[in-house]
Amino acid sequence: QVQLQESGPGLVKPSQTLSLTCTVSGGSISSGGYYWSWIRQHPGKGLEWIGYIYYSGSTYYNPSLKSRVTISVDTSKNQFSLKLSSVTAADTAVYYCARGEVYSNAFDYWGQGTLVTVSS
């Protein structure tokens, strides 16, 4: 059973960089066939896809966030990470890591989510 778990600070100051890590267990990031993604949900709102990384290291980001987002992978630790720079209160959200299947282009496994609040 694949499991994903987000970790990182729950409070970030405005203008700083939000950093989160997703640890994958029960499956290997290096196995291919999956988009390792970050998705966020503003409080009481809908879902916004942030970006993905493939095991090879190739990335694709939502154009609306592209200038501020970096996603990286550490296959030795079976982890992938999100960095979002120059955050504002508008970046306050629950951040999920998720596995997207290349076959279905749907997200079949999700982490539990972590609330990140941007506040001084």
* 82: contact with another protein by CB under 8 A: no
Give the residue from 9, 5, 4 showing the smallest Cα distance to 87.
9
**Residue 37 · residue 51 · CB < 8 Å:** yes
Give the shortest CB-37-to-another protein separation in angstroms: 8
Q: Which positions from 8 through 47 interact with another protein, judged by CB under 8 A?
A: 37, 46-47
CB atoms within 10 A of CB 51: 20
Q: How far apart are alpha carbons 19 and 15 in whole angstroms?
A: 13
Give the shortest CB-22-to-another protein separation in angstroms: 12
* 49: contact with another protein by CB under 8 A: yes
Between residues 21 and 48, which has the closer beta carbon with respect to another protein? 48
Rounded to the nearest 5 degrees, what angle is found at the Cα of 104, between the Cα atoms of 103 and 105?
Answer: 100
Q: Which residues bind another protein (CB under 8 A)?
A: 37, 46-49, 52, 60, 62-64, 96, 98, 100-101, 104-108, 110-113
